[in-house]
Structures are given as C-alpha cells and as structure tokens.
Structure 1
Amino acid sequence: MPRRPLARLASALGAGALLLAGCANPSTGSADDDPTKPVTLTFWHGWSEKNEVKAINDSIARFEKLHPNITVKSVGNVTDETINQALRAGGGDAPDVVTSFTTNNVGQYCSSGMWVDLDPFMEKTGLDKKKVFPKTLLDYTSYQGKQCALPLLADAYGMYYNKDAFKEAGIERPPRTMSELKRDAAKLTRRTKGGGLERVGFMPNFRLYQNSPDRLFAQWGPAYFDKDGKARLAKEGKIKAFYATVRDLIREQGGYGALETFRTSFGDEFSSQNAFLTGKLAMHLDGEWRGLFLKDAKFDWGTAPLPVPDDQADTYGRGFLTGTVTGIAHSSKHQNAAWELVRFLTADTDQVVAFANAIHNVPSTKAALTSPKLDPDPAFRAFLDIAQNKYSNALPPSVNGGQYVVSLRDFSYGVEAGKVHDLDKGLKELDDQIDADILQAQD
C-alpha cells in the first residue's frame, strides 16, 4: 500500500501529544460481553485508496459470513489523531477496533492504556502468538511486555534496480555490500554534456521519497536504546560507519549540492514522474508496494535486498520492517466480539493472504508468508524473503512514539549537508535530546 510515512509521522506525533496529555483516565470498557450474541462493532482504519477500501470491505464481508451475529461498521481514512481524540473522549461514538500505520506509536498505545492488552484474549482463545507471528513483528506491536496490538500486514524495504542500466554499465547483479553499492552507484551515475546529472546510481539523500535515515541505517542492525531505555546513538559505533557510507555515496556521485539540485527536478513519489520510473535513479530504496506503480515502466526492473556493511556480509537479505497494527479500544464495551474481528484479520491464514494479495503488502503471519496462494510475482517474493530474514529489524517502540525518529532525521539532514563538524559531540547532544523528550512524555 502506498504510504507517506513522514507526513503520517508528523500527524501521529501531534496525536501522541494529545494522547499523553489526556490518558490519565481513559474510558473503561468491558470484556464481559458474549461474542455469540448480536452486536455491532465500529472499526476505524486509515485505508482510503479505492482498491484498499474494497479489500478491507471484502475482508469484513468474509468475517461477517463466519460470524453472522456480528455486524461491522467500517470507517476509513481515519488518522491516529482522530482515533486518539475519540478514545480519550470515550462514549458511544468511540470505535471498538482501531488500526494505525505508525508502529512507532505502539509504545504510546500500550503505556497509556488506550489499547487493551491482547494477551488475555489470545490465552483464552488458544492463539499462540509466538507460533503465529514473526518475532520482529511481535516486537513492534508490544511495549514493555504488553501486547496491545497485533500486526495487520507488513511493509518490507528493499532495493529496486534498473536492469537495463545495469546491463549498459556491465554490472551483472545487484550490490550486496556497501562497498559494492558505492562502486556500482558511481558506474551507474550519468552526467549531461554540461556537467549536470542525468541519472544517479543510488541517491542516499534523506529528503528523497522513502529515504528516512532509519531505513538505510537498519542495514547495520543498530541499537537505539540501552537496557534502561536511554538513547545510545553516541555509543553506537555503527552510526559512524553509516554516515561515512552516506557521505562517500554523496561525494562519488557529484556532491551534496548537485544531488539536492537534481532531487528538486523529480516528480511526486506517487506520480508518473517518480524519479525511478522516469530513469533518473538506477537503484532505489522502497517498499514492496512500489511494484504496483511500475507496471508501465519502459525498462526492465528487478528487486533485491539492500546491501549490508562489508563486515556484516552474512546478514545480506535483511531489511527494514514496519506495517499496519491493529488493536481493541480500551473504551469498547464489546471487547470479546472485537477480539474475534482482530483475530480474524490478523491470524486467519486465508484472510491474511487474500488481503496481502489485494493491496500488495507483505503477509504478517508465518503461515501466510509461506502460503502457495500468495502472489507469485518474483519481484514481490524478494520482499517476502526480507520479511522472513532473521536479521531484518524494526524501530523499537517508545513512550512518545516516533519523536526520536524525527530527531534522528533532523540531525541526519545536517550530517549529509556537511553542517555537523563534530559528529561525536552532535550524537551526544542527540542522545540528550531524545532522553529529555522521553522524560517529558513520562511526566
């Protein structure tokens, strides 16, 4: 599914402030309802594209056929902010089942009590979460031991590459290590007669489309926080290697100024003028849904995992994972019935496969990931492998959502532009800022 993560993140952070400010007395619902009795559930989600809405409505129809006593009222295109305001207010207008595209906010959902702990529901209905869901997906749907959400499809990030450009440059396969990436990016970069850029091998600039720094940094397998929850980026040696790689890529392809000027010539990410689609990028970091937008590409293209650091070559195949999460509102008076819907959407293999095929997302259960009913498209299969790779990772949840990701992004803008002259000092200040933001959120 196409996402605009940074815009969603900014909205979610605003919602987080509202949530934390108003979570002292969340409305109390009930788990005493009989899920076999007639009931109407309200389901709020964020999907809005025509094919996405059809897919979720088809999913609900399948659920209602299995549970004829439960009617689901579906409301789409709902933001985290709207959901959080409704959950704070409680009452009859609040939803029973909710979803979010922002996994970073799971720490808020769990710690605030606005999303109920799902472990008791799984226990009484016999769902073994460790057998059903991949570990990384369970990690990003829980916080401090509380499983207040479950994954509802996932997104995996990898590399799209222009096979025609590779053939022209004499490159036989996608790069697997960062040194190969730098070498190939330089070979694939093509300049105009006037010295400007016509095509870039791999643009690392953090303002480009999906290039939030955490996504490429994931290839190093970083640890953002220590066991006490304190930011540790200044102590994370991998971040220096990450920034060094980014600076090398920038330098070898014309410099930051030239790349930024070239980037401003790109069309909108979700338009026919996307820079990869128009041949201005030979390699590109993106999610599994991008293939839906490349059906009319005038060149041969393929997918592969993103390269990994040379000293971690054995982890090749890994990638950054995120996705949609769903849970039960604390204020719901029909939590057992709501759990039946959550369980169906997240753990029923045929349902997960059908939904994944419909919106071209990665399935979020172990059984669905290996189902023969999955889309056979080999370009899509590359992302299924990334999702199952034991080294793939996701961002850790935090009590104030993705604020630390925004802080990292803003800091990274300065690094790539050459404005951070003392990296050690800058990283220490970044850690202090992240810790202060978290402390403020806990007050």
Structure 2
Amino acid sequence: MVRFHGSWTAPAIIALALATSLSLSSCGSDEKKPNTDVGKGAGPVKDPASPQTVTFFSWVGNEPTMKKLAAEFHKQHPNITIKFENAPAEQAQQVLSTRIAGNTAPDVAYINASDTSDYAARGALVDLGGYMGRSTVVKPDSYVDGFKTFVTWNGTMWGLPFDGETTGLFYRTDRFEEAGIAGPPKTWDEFKADAEKLTDAAKGKYGFEMFASEAAYYFYPWLYQAGGDALTEDGKDIAFNSAAGKTAAAFYVDLAKYSPRDYLNSNSYDGRVAFAKGDVAMYVAGAWFAGTLADEYPKITGKWAAAPLPNGAAGCKTTIAGDSLVMFSQTKVSDAAWLWMEFLSQPGNLANWTYKTEGTLLPPTKALLASDDLAKEKPVLKPFADLMSCGVASTVANPKYPRIETILNEELSKAIYGDQTPAEALDNAAQQGRAILGRH
C-alpha cells in the first residue's frame, strides 16, 4: 500500500498487508462468480441519460488533488456525481471487506494493488476486459509489467494500476566524496566494498543501515536479485530457502557489521535520523524517503542522491508497491463507474496524481515513467522510474503467507543479531511456513 504523499512506510505496509490478508480470507467462499459480461459492447462507453451517483471508497478522498479531479470529471460528465466514501488508511481494508460481505460494497475503490487478486478470486470484482476493449485511454500493454501482475488473476486484469513506488538506494554524496568513492555501487561486490570503506565505528560512522524489525521486508530485493522468490510459482510451497535465497540471506545479514547497532531494533522511518545526520551513508528505501528528506531535512538538500539498487546475479530486480482502481460486482452503475476509472487513468490525470504533486509517487505507465516531463518535474524520482522495469510484483496470493512472513522476519532478525546463521534462519522459517501451508 502506498499512501499519497509518501507518508506510509515499510512497517505500515507490512502491518496492513497482514491485516488485509487475514480480513480478506474471512470473506468466505460463497461469493458469486464474477459476471464476465459487464462492460461488453461496441464503441466507447456513453454517459448515462439520467443522473447517477458513483460511490468511491478510499483513504484519499479528502486529498485536494482527488477533489479537484472529481470536480473536473463532473464538468465533463454532468450526469455523474462522485460520492466519496472515506476510511482511515489503517482501517480501510477491514471496512471494505466487511462491506463486501454485507452486500454494501462501493462502486469503485482505491485499494492496495497487491490485494486485487484476493478480491477477484472471491468474485467481488468486475472483469474489466470488456471495458478496456472499448477504451481509447486504457490499454493493458501501456502498464509496467510489475504493476500489471499485481492486478491480474487467472490471466485477466481486475484492476487498473494507479500509482506506486519502487525500492532504491539513497546515499550521502558528501560521505562518498570524503571516502573517495566516485559514485553509487552498481554490483553487490561494490556495495559491500563501499559499505566497509564508509564504516568507522569508533567515530560513529557507518556505511549502511538495516532494521531487524523489518528484516523480511528489506530482504526481498536481495532475494529477487539472487534469482530467488518467496513462494513457488503456484504459491503452494516455500521457495525462499533455496540456494539462491541462502546466497541472498548470507550477503544481506552480513551487512549488519556495517550498520549502527543502536538502530537495529528500530524501523526504517525512525532510522531516517541517522541518515539525515550523516552517520549512515547508504540507506535502502522506497521513493517515499525522498519526500521525507525534502520535507523534514531541507538543510541536507544537495548532500544526498538516489540510485538504482546494485545488481545481483539475476540482474536488475527490486520490490514495488502500489495502488489500483477496482470496480465491485455489486455495482448497479457499472458504465458510470467505468467512466470515472477511465478518467482517472488519463495520462494527464495520472501525472497530476503522482509526480506533479508534493509527493513522490510514480505513475504506472511506461510512457509517463520514461517521459522527459517526469525527469524535469521531479528529478529525484528518475532513478526510481528507471527501476520500475526491474520491479518484481510478488505473486504471493496465498492468504496464509503474511503469517509466514512474520516468522521469516523473526528468524532473519535472530540472524542479524548473530543468534543463528542466515541459512538456519531460512530453513527454520521454511519449516514453520510449510506447517502453516499444510493446515486446512
């Protein structure tokens, strides 16, 4: 989940992912099968002949940009009114799941993109294929593959990617210059060498910063770069303790020696202070961190930069997160709902919602990510835009996985503190994870 203006951090993402998955899994299996005929027809969707209201559920309805978009939409479609139904971000998915179960779902919602397949699998969403086939705005091939994976289930797109971010490398340019390092590392070997060179524990200076409390979340980029994955492709077995996974864990856990021990039990948001002070030279985070630094630490502007993560054996890989727009199968105004989704998906509106704001969100389309406009409007986002093509959208749709991730986090945390080896951490987590997967 990506919060507008980048105010959600990794801990919030992890907690909400767990809560969401558990609430989704309680929706039951008695949902109606999705109606695949909705949206089918010839030519562009037309405006309704009489007034209709489209309910739009989200945690961003009070954002000035969203209100402005709704007002502009109403001018263009005077017979359609957008009714915002807001919930706090930390409660949104639970509220939405309850409403779906109670047959009071909204027409359209802005949701965590990775939850799209869960809703689709329960028959809660409209298959958007019919509408997309009639649209001159929304084309499946225009989206980055990683984001398209998020909203695809059984080979069908059930949501429209709307915004997102990638995980990249932030580094203190002043510390690099002091150490005589020409630029950011491009390989794992360079990363480790730079971290070592930038570390002088006696002076309270470190090359990297990591967080045991978020060990699993920040392990994934290294896992993907090594050629590993969290689960097998069918989602039925553990894959993170493969040979590739153990290579990644060994490298990742070893980085603790270049990190301030006082921050190991902290989290990525609180850890921003050490980076801002210059005590830490390299920091892995999502694009949200760029906005945080600009807002909270303007005095260090010009002393830091962002770059793609260093490549591993599998090449350029990184984690991505994002939000999508979905239409619920309970809607009685599907054409009007589609027109709202299509309007929000226009290139100019995607740009206005993402990089043309104070925030640091990225648009989900290839054209906008590669545009000169993005690089001009928000230069700090360019490295993250470049990384989008390397983004790995986790295909883990198994509702049991969040519990497994909690265990993986605990075991990797023990390894970071030196209580067990990285390989033992993965094997222990895998053994417990398989027990969870085997339960009915």
Give per-residue Cα distances to partners, 1:66-89, cap 9 Å, x unaligned: 222211112343421111111111
d(CA) in 2 for partners of 1:373 and 1:422?
44
Q: Percent identity?
A: 24
Superposed CA deviations along residues 213-244 of structure 1, whole A, max 9, x for unmatched, are 22443333423333433324266322111111
Corresponding residue of 1:100 = 111
User: Could you tell me how far apart the structure 2 residues matched to 1:428 and 1:338 are?
Assistant: 47
Unaligned runs of 5+ in 2: 1-5, 40-44
Alignment length (residue pairs): 416
Whether 1:364 and 2:367 are equivalent positions in the alignment is no
Does residue 248 of the first structure (1) align with residue 248 of the second (2)? no
Partners of 2:426 and 2:201 lie apart in 1 by 35
User: Structure 1, unaligned stretches of length 5 or more?
Assistant: none
Check the 8 A contact 1:288/1:361 in 2, yes or no. yes
Task: Measure the CA separation in 1 of the matches of 2:8 and 2:400.
Answer: 18
Question: Which residue of 91, 115, 133 maps to 1:123?
Answer: 133
Distance in 1, Cα, partners of 2:17 & 2:238: 24
Shift in Å, 1:27: 7.3
Q: Residue 9 of structure 1 aligns with which residue?
A: 14
* Amino acid aligned to 1:97: V
Task: Check 1:249–1:16 CA distance in 2 against 1; reply closer, same or farther (3 A cut).
Answer: closer
In structure 2, what is the equivalent of residue 60 of structure 1?
A: 70
Distance 2:47 2:215 in 1: 44
For residues 323-342 of structure 1, the aligned pairs below 5 Å read 323-342=322-341
- For 1:351 and 1:206, the matched residues in 2 are separated by 39
Instruction: Spell out, residue by residue over 1:220-272, the C-alpha distance to the aligned partner (whole angstroms, 9 max, x if none).
Output: 34233334333242663221111111233223x27xxxx332446x798279x
Pairs within 5 Å for 1:38-187: 38-47=51-60, 53-76=63-86, 77-78=88-89, 79-91=92-104, 94-101=105-112, 103-125=113-135, 129-187=139-197
The C-alpha deviation readout for 1:400-426, integer Å capped at 9, x for no partner, is 1751443432332233223335836x5
| Corresponding residue number in structure 2 for 1:413 | 413
- Cα deviation, 1:259-296, whole Å, max 9, x if unaligned, reads 332446x798279x632222222111112232222230
Contact kept, 8 Å, 1:185 with 1:202, in 2: the verdict is yes
Q: Does 1:207 align with 2:243?
A: no
TM-score by length of 1: 0.83
- Higher deviation after alignment, 369-378 or 333-342: 369-378
CA RMSD of aligned residues (A): 3.1
CA distance in 2, matches of 1:366, 1:68: 32
Secondary structure at 1:364's aligned position in 2?
A: coil
Separation (CA, whole Å) in 2 of partners of 1:395 and 1:86: 26
Aligned counterpart for 1:36 among listed residues 39, 48, 64: 48
Distance 1:209 1:344 in 2: 39
Which residue does the alignment assign to 1:300?
303
Amino acid at match of 2:410: D
Post-superposition offset of 1:177: 0.9
Give, in whole Å, the separation in 1 of the partners of 2:384 and 2:135.
Answer: 31
Query: What is the correspondence of 1:345-360 to structure 2 with a 5 Å cutoff?
Result: 345=344, 347-356=345-354, 357-358=356-357, 359-360=359-360
Residue by residue over 1:87-122, the C-alpha shift from the partner in whole angstroms, topping out at 9 and shown as x without a partner, is 11123xx32111223x44333212112222222322
1:22-75 superposed Cα distances (whole Å, 9 cap, x missing partner): 333447998489752421111111238x8xx11222222232232222111123
